[in-house]
Every structure is written in structure tokens, then in C-alpha cells.
Amino acid sequence: MADSSAVDMLVRDQFARWDRIRKIKKPIIAAVSGFALGGGCELSMACDLIIASETARFGQPEINIGVMPGAGGTQRLTRAIGKCKAMEMVLTGKMITAEEAFHLGLVNKVVPVECYLDEAKSLAKEIASKPPVAVRLAKEAVLKSFDTTIEGGLEFERKNFYLLFSSEDQKEGMKAFVEKRKPEWKGR
């Protein structure tokens, strides 16, 4: 890319693939160990949940080579950890540890390096055990909060909430609760 012009990069829309990640209907879990810098940090933030090993380091060091994040780093990082800390990371190129990322709200959980992939799989299994239609609509509603006002987000959330009452899974979930048994989800 060193000899690519800005116009070439715009025409190729090199980040279109990145944008498609957010449109995946199923929850995406990043399992991060080691360095997640630049595009690696942006890719992990494009996911819905992040499990990090104790060795994980996150950063947006693009400023050190004369550019800036271009795959969502300035936007997602700011929304995840706030303006001040995002500014510091983006403008200085400094990294943060997994523990710092956890305390700032960038990652969901920090675990020993030998466990991070199993922990991500365990979380995926837990989510997969939930009613699929409700999971999909809940994910949509959470993501909508980034694109709209609180009023618009609440309207979207309520629409999805009421929509779920017409699903077979909702009826099964309520029935299973009353009967004190585990529900059997159908995805309908």
C-alpha cells in the first residue's frame, strides 16, 4: 500500500470487508492473545465480545508511521473507552495491557494465556444455548445504540421486544419457566 494513492484506496473501498463484520447476525467473539495493534485492535473491536489473555496488548500505533486508524479505530475505541483515553492511545500510539483494557471496558474478560481460547469457546457455547432469534434481535438493538439517539434506540429495542412475543421460542421459554424445565429452542 506504500505506493497506493488516496484515490486508489477510496475506489477500492479497502475497508468494505471490515464493515461486513458488523452486519453478521450471529455474535462474534474475539479471542486475543499477544499484540492486537492497528488493524488487529480494530478487528477485535469490530467483534461483539472480546476475551483477552493476560499477555494481550491493545493499541492504535498508526500515528508512529504518519497515518491514523482507518478501519474504525477512532470511532470504536472512543465509544468503548471514552474520548480522553482514546485520544491518548490514537495520538501517542501507546499500547494498553489486557488488564487496562478490561478496566476501561474494551474487553469482557482477561484470563490466563492457556485458557483464553477455551474461555471464548465457552462464552460462545453459552450464547448458542440461548434462543437464536432473541440473540439476533438483542445484538441488533445493542448495535443500534451506536447509530441513533436514545429515543431512536428505545423505539428499535421495543419493536424487537414486541416482535419476539410472536416467536415460538418466546412461548417455549415462558412455558419452560413455568414448568421449571430447560427450554428447547427452535430458532423460530
pLDDT mean over 54-59: 98
Q: H-type helices in 13-144, by residue range? A: 16-22, 39-46, 73-81, 83-92, 98-104, 116-128, 132-144
**pLDDT score of 8 more than 50:** yes
Per-residue confidence (pLDDT) for residue 20, from 0 to 100: 81
pLDDT tens by residue, 74-122: 889 999 999 999 999 999 999 999 999 999 999 999 999 999 999 999 9
Residues in CB range of 176: below 8 A, 6 or more apart: 182, 183, 184
- The residue that leads in pLDDT, 84 or 67, is 84
Per-residue confidence (pLDDT) for residue 46, from 0 to 100: 92
pLDDT tens by residue, 169-181: 888 888 888 999 8
Q: Which three cell numbers stand for residue 47?
A: 467483534
Most confident of 3-12, 98-107, 153-162, 169-178: 98-107
Per-residue confidence (pLDDT) for residue 10, from 0 to 100: 58
Calpha distance 106→44 (Å, rounded): 10
Residue ranges and CATH numbers for the domains of the chain are: 15-128 (3.90.226.10), 132-178 (1.10.12.10)
Per-residue confidence (pLDDT) for residue 187, from 0 to 100: 83
- The residue that leads in pLDDT, 93 or 15, is 93
**pLDDT score of 1 more than 50:** no
Q: What is the mean pLDDT of the chain?
A: 88
